[in-house]
A = this chain, B = another copy of it.
Amino acid sequence: MLGQKIGRQSVSMHNPPYMITGSTIVGPMEGEGPLREFYDLVLADDLYGEGSWEKAEAKMLRENVKRAIAKAGLTMGDIDVILAGDLLNQLISTNFAMRDLDIPFLGLYGACSTMAESLLIGSMLVDGGFLNYALAAVSSHHNTAERQYRFPTELGVQRPPACQWTVTGTGTSVIAKTGQGPRITYGTIGRVVDMGITNPNDMGTAMAPAAADTLMAHFRDTGRDPSYYDAIMTGDLGIVGRNLVIELTRQNGFILSKNYQDCGTLVYREDQDVHAGASGCGCSAVVLNGYLYSLLRRNMLKRILFAGTGSLHSPVSYQQKETMPCICHAVAIEAE
């Protein structure tokens, strides 16, 4: 028997793969946030002993992959493939991390949606019989992202209120054909949605329509009501984008407010002054592989819908006056 497609955008697993481990490393500022106890390692400084932030990000990703493999009681040779990505041009954090890991590698780019994209593809490849163990891994680093997407970090440019703060952090999930842990039961593949937003300092507003589109596709395709889930978690919309998702889905008859939260609202304390919340590949990755995974393993959550959101613009497209295409991929993760 095989997995199958359901509806326009979703897939159901035939023998749902297990998420047997989640591992996270975060930067110092994230380690001062409310989820501190759920991270595996908090770095003392954001250079992690390296000579550049880019090298620090690659090291963080690499070391966390090794930790995830060890936590799962596996060795590198057991891992059939790693699906990974980050925010940097040409995925250099990922590519340089992979250089030191002897694991077949498939590079993904979904901006901040990459954690969900990697879980979705990894689960299909495991359920399809091709792999026993797949890793899904992503990273982001505040300082590498800031200088690539916005301004030189040292310039100290004042940030507008709708701005989010890119998380310094990395998360790795070990997906397995057999094992212990919650199972990935359904996936919903996103479409690119572009509502004409041009302000890269307000990514929550830009990404919210894509998030709403994928969540509603998931409910339609699976026949599940939002209330089926204990928690519906979008990736990194922050405070502004979260409220917009609630409104957009409400207009279409879906009531999300009771069990819906956004990972970007959970990473920092309000007095950490990050404005509209957290963002970056690492945001949803550390919330999923730290906080949510821990609650799933303790049976404090039984069914979650994890929806990674990404803004697919670039500094070049912004300079060329283009609007921001966005995407959202979702996976249903359910404890038995």
Contacts and interface: CB of A to CB of B under 8 A. Distances in A.
A189 B81 contact: yes
B111 A90 contact: yes
Contact of A5 (B80, B108, B189, B191): B80
Interface stretch (A20-28, A122-130, A251-259, A263-271): A122-130
Nearest to A52: B320
A108 B109 contact: yes
B314 A89 contact: yes
A101 B193 CA distance: 10
Interface in A99-154: 99, 101-111, 117, 120-121, 124-125, 127-132, 148
B109 A85 contact: yes
A4 B130 CA distance: 4
Given A98-B192, A105-B189, A314-B89, A2 B54 contact: no
Interface stretch (A6-14, A67-75, A241-249): A6-14
Nearest to A191: B104
Nearest to A118: B106
Contacts of A148: 316
28 contacts: A2-B128, A3-B128, A3-B129, A3-B130, A4-B130, A8-B104, A81-B189, A88-B316, A90-B109, A90-B313, A92-B313, A92-B314, A92-B317, A96-B322, A98-B191, A98-B325, A101-B192, A106-B108, A106-B117, A106-B189, A106-B329, A107-B110, A107-B312, A108-B109, A109-B109, A124-B124, A124-B125, A124-B128
Nearest to A95: B312
Interface in A15-35: none
A190 B89 contact: no
Nearest to A98: B192
Contacts of A52: 320
Contacts of A329: 106
Interface string A285-311: 000000000000000000000000000
A230 interface: no
A327 interface: yes
A95 B5 contact: no
B106 A110 contact: yes
A131 B96 CA distance: 32
Given A107-B109, A128-B124, A129-B2, A89 B315 contact: yes
Nearest to A327: B105
Given A130-B4, A312-B90, A107 B105 contact: no
Contact of A316 (B92, B130, B189, B312): B92
A191 B85 CA distance: 15
